[in-house]
């Protein structure tokens, strides 16, 4: 039974049998895995609070031949992102990142770039300077890594290069922008201004260490919020619970996400 030690982010954790936990976690070198932590509800020594969702830890686990589930042996916290828990909206955003990984990433497909993306953006949510547009950048980068990159440089109908000074429409079904000549004044799809398109193009390529230097205008925040999360839902063909939670918070508390963008 090979034993592994690897950095991981806990995605989901569920009480299982009398004292065990069933845990979904995303490792740096083995991808997304599911496993059983025997006695986790009793053993603070072996697992501490490291199995809480969205904790970054070092996990020790082993595989049993012919078993789908791995066995978790030990867990040590690297980063608990404690400030996320000070703000219910941040909890919503962090849960959204976790749900996206759970829904869009296949089990046992290692992807170091994706692991770096997740830990980088959990750290950004944990920071006081967090802004909503960071979530849009995460979405775009995740879409690219998962093979669903939207077309933001050419019209998906006539293939003409996008004119950055004009508005375009965004078709979920066609997976990208439609130019003015092709949508011919109809209002079938959501509109993105030239400024918003430039921001999104920049977000597709910016180095992760420079993300905090990118500021969306309130218009870019609003337009991209109407497009990207729903594009993801259309691609995975199911609604995302954490997205509804974020939207509900925005409505019930009167929290306008654009406030976050203006900081
Ligand atoms: Zn066109």
- The CA 152 to ligand 1 mean position distance, Å, reads 12
Compute, in angstroms, the gap from residue 154 CA to the centroid of ligand 1. 8
Two structure tokens written together for 142: 């995740």
CATH number of the domain that 37 lies in?
Answer: 2.40.50.140
Distance 155 CA to ligand 1 centre (A): 5
Predicted confidence (pLDDT) at residue 256 exceeds the cutoff of 50: no
Ligand 1 centroid distance, CA of 172 (Å):
15
Give CA–CA dist 36/56, Å, rounded: 18
Helix axes 88-104, 133-145, angle to 10 degrees: 10
Task: Classify residue 160 by its DSSP letter.
Answer: P
Does one domain contain both 27 and 60? yes
Write out pLDDT tens, residues 82-100.
Answer: 999 999 999 999 999 999 9
More confident residue, 255 or 112: 112
CATH number for the domain harbouring residue 224: 1.20.1440.120
CA of 260 to the centre of ligand 1 (A): 34
Q: Are residues 117 and 247 in the same domain?
A: yes
Using the mean position of ligand 1's atoms as its centre, give its distance from the Cα of residue 228 in Å.
20
Question: Same domain, yes or no, for 116 and 227?
Answer: yes
Q: 141 and 74 in one domain?
A: no
CA-CA distance, 255 to 249, in Å (whole number)?
A: 7
Q: Is residue 104 part of a domain?
A: no
| 13 within some domain | yes
Same domain membership, residue 177 and residue 66: no
- Reported as type and span, the H/E element at residue 137 is helix 133-145
Cβ atoms of 138 and 225 within 8 Å: the answer is no
In sign, the C-alpha dihedral spanning 214, 215, 220, 226 is: positive
pTM of the model: 0.92
227: pLDDT strictly greater than 70: yes
Q: pLDDT for 141-169, tens place per residue?
A: 999 999 999 999 999 999 999 988 899 99
Same domain? 93 vs 201: yes
- Spacing, Cα 200 to ligand 1 middle (Å): 19
Lowest mean pLDDT of 25-39, 53-67, 123-137, 207-221, name the range: 53-67
Q: Containing domain of residue 36, as a range?
A: 3-80
Looking at the chain, the whole-number percentage of residues with pLDDT higher than 90 is: 79
The closest of 9, 22, 18 to 72, measured between CA atoms, is: 22
**218-to-85, 121, 199, 250, 261 alpha-carbon distances in Å:** 26, 21, 12, 15, 6
Least confident of 20-34, 45-59, 128-142, 152-166: 45-59
Domains contained in the chain, number:
2
Question: How far does the centroid of ligand 1 lie from the alpha carbon of residue 198, in Å?
Answer: 17
Instruction: State yes or no: pLDDT of 250 exceeds 90.
Output: no
Q: What is the pLDDT of residue 7?
A: 98
**Do residues 66 and 95 both lie within one domain?**
no
**What sign has the CA pseudo-torsion 243, 246, 249, 250?**
negative
Query: What is the whole-number distance in angstroms between the Cα of residue 221 and the centre of ligand 1?
Result: 24
> What is the residue whose two structure tokens read 């849960």?
95
User: Do both 212 and 178 map to the same domain?
Assistant: yes
**How close is the Cα of 171 to the center of ligand 1, in Å?**
12
Helices (H), 27-132: 44-47, 88-104, 112-126
Please report whether residue 158 resides in a domain: yes
Largest CA distance in the chain: 65
Q: CA-CA distance, 228 to 84, in Å (whole number)? A: 23
Q: How far is the CA of 219 from the centre of ligand 1 (A)?
A: 23
Cβ-proximal residues to 20 (8 Å cutoff; 6+ apart), any chain: 36, 37, 38, 39, 40, 41
Q: Is the pLDDT of residue 135 over 90?
A: yes
| Ligand 1 centroid to residue 59 C-alpha, Å | 50
With cut-offs at 50, 70 and 90, classify the pLDDT of residue 59. very high
Sheet of 168-171, strands arranged across: 176-178, 168-171, 191-192
Distance 216 CA to ligand 1 centre (A): 26
Residue 258 backbone class (left: φ over 0; alpha: ψ -120 to 50; beta: rest) = alpha
* 161 CA to centre of ligand 1 in angstroms: 9
């Amino acid at each position: 039974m090979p034993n592994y030690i690897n950095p991981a982010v806990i995605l989901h954790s569920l009480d299982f049998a009398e004292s065990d936990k069933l845990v979904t976690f995303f490792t740096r070198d083995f991808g997304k895995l599911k496993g059983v932590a025997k006695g986790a509800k009793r053993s603070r020594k072996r697992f501490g609070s490291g199995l809480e969702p969205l904790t970054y830890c070092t996990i020790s686990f082993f595989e049993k031949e012919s078993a789908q589930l791995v066995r978790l042996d030990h867990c040590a916290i690297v980063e608990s992102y404690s400030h996320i828990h000070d703000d219910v909206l941040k909890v919503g955003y962090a849960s959204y990142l976790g749900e996206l990984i759970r829904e869009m990433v296949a089990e046992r497909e290692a992807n170091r770039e994706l692991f770096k993306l997740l830990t980088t953006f959990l750290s950004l949510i944990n920071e006081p300077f967090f802004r909503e547009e960071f979530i849009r950048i995460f979405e775009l980068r995740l879409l690219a890594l998962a093979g669903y990159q939207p077309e933001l440089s050419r019209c998906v109908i006539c293939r003409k290069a996008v004119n950055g000074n004009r508005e375009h429409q965004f078709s979920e079904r066609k997976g990208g922008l439609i130019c003015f000549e092709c949508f011919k004044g109809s209002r079938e799809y959501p509109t993105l201004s030239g400024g918003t398109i430039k921001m999104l193009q920049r977000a597709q390529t910016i180095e992760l260490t420079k993300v905090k230097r990118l500021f969306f205008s309130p218009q870019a925040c609003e337009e991209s919020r109407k497009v990207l999360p729903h594009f993801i839902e259309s691609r995975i063909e199911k609604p995302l619970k954490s997205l509804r939670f974020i939207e509900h918070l925005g409505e019930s508390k009167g929290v306008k996400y654009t406030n976050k963008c203006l900081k």
